A and B are shown apart, each in its own frame.
Chain A
Amino acid sequence: MAIVLARVDDRVIHGQTTTRWVAVKPADAILVISDKVAADQLRCKVLKAAAGKLKLGIYTLAQGPEALAKASASPKKFFVISDSIRNFADLTKLGGNYGDVLNVGNLNATREGTKNMGNTVMLNDEDVVALDELAAAGVDIQFQLLPDDSVRTWPELKAKYQAM
């Protein structure tokens, strides 16, 4: 179990990740898998600084499955972070293996057509499609901002989304 946390977070690496999550799930390195992040050199430098003592690798989606395979085979412990649910759904389609659990943390950057699900999660119709794909692939989706927050499940939030 070399990948200890797979997380959707549109702030990617920040205090909650490097202090709160590392405290409960010690890690050696962070893999960021996102075409958007990989294409932005300034953002890459900022993330490198934000990662602090943790090693950092930033990969495109196409490079993602290979990086995940290396991480899975490594004795070191990794966080895998991407900035959208769609990216994880695509990684799964591409054969990327990041484990059976996907944590969803911050998703509250401004986007079209979102509904506020509370606790810093905003979802739109595209997210719902991606979440259904992940659920169909057997991924256990856990909405949980901080380690001591209670976990909300996708069926629970989907019912809430559809009622809004």
Chain B
Amino acid sequence: MNIVVASHGKLCEGLVDALHMMVAEPAPIVAVGLDEHGIDDFRERLAAAVDASLAQGKTLIMSDLIGGTPYNEAYALFLQHPEELRVVAGANFPMLIEVGIAAADSDDLDEVLGVALEAGRGGVVAAELPDEGYESDEDDLF
């Protein structure tokens, strides 16, 4: 299946650019950003990208922010294509990596949606200080 990343500004392009550093052959993916040309222009470009994507197969739209314009426009498309389209908000890099891999091998929208939610949530963590300094795991390494 296919992925459309929709965001404010160039966040979507940056996410897709970064994805190619981590996954050599992800699912087909396009980025559509809301820019200074405004909402009507964005709506047209998003609809065109999603139509092209749906022509190739089921599609997951990853939007950057719940309630933001990219999400709202994606949601409108979801209402029109509930059988073949899913939408998530809060797209982040851990989510995109796992979705990029999973969607390459799956046509199950809800399975990939589950991967997105789990990876996106699980990828948000705080750094913690180690219990001690670096010590070789020599004792049980081999």
A55-B22 contact in complex given A41-B133, A49-B130, C-beta closer than 8 Å: no
Q: B142 is contacted by which of A41, A44, A45, A70 (Cβ under 8 Å)?
A: A70
Identity of the chain A residue whose Cβ is nearest the Cβ of B104 in the assembled complex: A148
Q: B134 is contacted by which of A44, A70, A149 (Cβ under 8 Å)?
A: A44
Complex contact A149–B130 (CB within 8 A):
no
At the interface, yes or no: A58 with Cβ under 8 Å from chain B? yes
At the interface, yes or no: A15 with Cβ under 8 Å from chain B? yes
At the interface, yes or no: B55 with Cβ under 8 Å from chain A? no
* Bound: A57/B22 CA distance, A: 25
Complex contact A146–B137 (CB within 8 A):
no
At the interface, yes or no: B138 with Cβ under 8 Å from chain A? yes
Determine the interface band of chain A, counting residues with CB < 8 A from chain B.
20 to 34
Q: CB-CB contacts of B100-142 with A at 8 A, as 1s and 0s?
A: 0000000000000000000000000001001001101110111
Q: Compute the total of residue contacts between A and B using a CB distance below 8 Å.
A: 47
Determine the interface band of chain B, counting residues with CB < 8 A from chain A.
10 to 19
* Bound: A145/B22 CA distance, A: 9
A29-B137 contact in complex given A19-B97, A49-B130, C-beta closer than 8 Å: yes
At the interface, yes or no: A86 with Cβ under 8 Å from chain B? no
Q: A48 is contacted by which of B25, B127, B134, B142 (Cβ under 8 Å)?
A: B134
Complex contact A57–B130 (CB within 8 A):
no
Complex contact A57–B23 (CB within 8 A):
no
Q: CB-CB contacts of A1-33 with B at 8 A, as 1s and 0s?
A: 000000000000001100110000000010000
Q: Residues of A contacting B127 with CB < 8 Å? A: 49
At the interface, yes or no: A76 with Cβ under 8 Å from chain B? yes
Question: Counting chain A CB atoms within 10 Å of each CB, which of B24, B127, B133, B142 scores highest?
Answer: B142
Complex contact B130–A145 (CB within 8 A):
no
A74-B142 contact in complex given A16-B22, A146-B22, C-beta closer than 8 Å: yes
Q: Residues of B contacting A57 with CB < 8 Å? A: 136-138, 141
> Other than the known A49-B127, A55-B137, A145-B24, what 18 A-B pairs have Cβ atoms closer than 8 Å?
A19-B97, A20-B22, A29-B137, A29-B141, A41-B133, A44-B134, A45-B130, A49-B130, A55-B140, A55-B141, A56-B137, A57-B137, A57-B141, A74-B142, A146-B23, A146-B24, A148-B25, A149-B24
Interface CB pairs A-B, < 8 A, 21: A15-B22, A16-B21, A20-B23, A41-B133, A41-B134, A45-B133, A45-B134, A48-B130, A49-B127, A49-B130, A55-B137, A55-B141, A56-B141, A71-B142, A73-B142, A76-B142, A146-B23, A146-B24, A147-B24, A148-B23, A149-B24
Interfacial residues, chain A to chain B (CB-CB below 8 A): 15-16, 19-20, 29, 41, 44-45, 47-49, 55-58, 70-71, 73-74, 76, 145-149
Interfacial residues, chain B to chain A (CB-CB below 8 A): 21-25, 97, 127, 130, 133-134, 136-138, 140-142
